[in-house]
Structure 1
Amino acid sequence: MTTIYGIKNCDTMKKAFTWLDEHKIAYTFHDYKKQGLDEAAFERALKQHGWENVINRRGTTWHKLPEATQKSMNAEKALEIARENPSIIKRPLLSANDDLVLGFSEDSYAKVFK
């Protein structure tokens, strides 16, 4: 089962959807805005990639956090903040074939679905 997590209107998400559709890969879309955070998938991403990679520190949601929160960030706090602000999670998060891919690149998706 392939699941892609994110926010529908994100440009990177649109690229990922297009790639999956063009390669005729069936997937389920988990929309953070409508369905909220999938904590199990998020915790798995934290364990596999570390909060530093799972949390999008370039986005506006991160920059709106108090500086003290940014400086004291860890995996536990990342989970708390992602519950309240799932848009802080790097997008997309793709779960397929026991792989967990952060972000989108044609190469990384091609490796998962080879």
Structure 2
Amino acid sequence: MMQIYGIKNCDKVRAAMRWGQEQGLDVQLHDYRVDGLDAQLLDTFIQHFPLETLVNKRSTSWRGLSDEQRAQLTPEVILEQPTLIKRPLVKLKQDMILGFEPDQWKQLI
């Protein structure tokens, strides 16, 4: 199974879903806007990636943060705005990969 975290209208998320389906994987999307993001799931992400790596600093969501929120980036800020997380975040088996990385995914299937 390939679990993809992101938002369904993101081009990279759609490409990841298409790639997984082409590989014959059971692809499931966890859309932050539909399915939400809770503290437990975010903690799982943080175990794999530091906050600085997890956040997309080129996103519209990042630009919308106050200077204080950017300087004091906390899990609470991400829980309020899960679209700050880089996309896609993909879980294959026990591994998590951030970004569109089919070469890495291929090694895990």
TM-score under structure 1 normalisation? 0.87
Indicate if the aligned counterparts of 2:88 and 2:99 stay in contact, CA closer than 8 A: yes
How far 1:2 moved relative to its partner? 3.0
* Identical pairs, percent: 34
Q: How far has the Cα of 1:64 moved from its partner?
A: 1.0
Letter in 2 for 1:95: K
Show the 5 A alignment for 1:1-114: 1-73=1-73, 77=74, 79-113=75-109
Letter of the structure 1 residue corresponding to residue 59 of structure 2: G
DSSP 3-state at the match of 1:33: helix
Deviation by residue 1:3-30 (Cα, 9 ceiling, x = unmatched): 1111000011011011101111112211
The one-character-per-residue Cα deviations of 1:43-99 (angstroms, maximum 9, x if unpaired) are 1221221001111111010111111211122xxx1x212221111111111112110
The alpha carbon displacement at 1:38 in A equals 4.3
Amino acid corresponding to residue 102 of structure 1 in structure 2: L
Runs of 4+ in 1 over 4 A off after TM superposition: none
Distance 2:28 2:78 in 1: 21
> If the length of structure 2 is used for normalisation, what is the TM-score?
0.90
After TM superposition, give the deviation of residue 106 of structure 1 in Å: 1.6
* Structure 1 unaligned regions, length at least 5: none
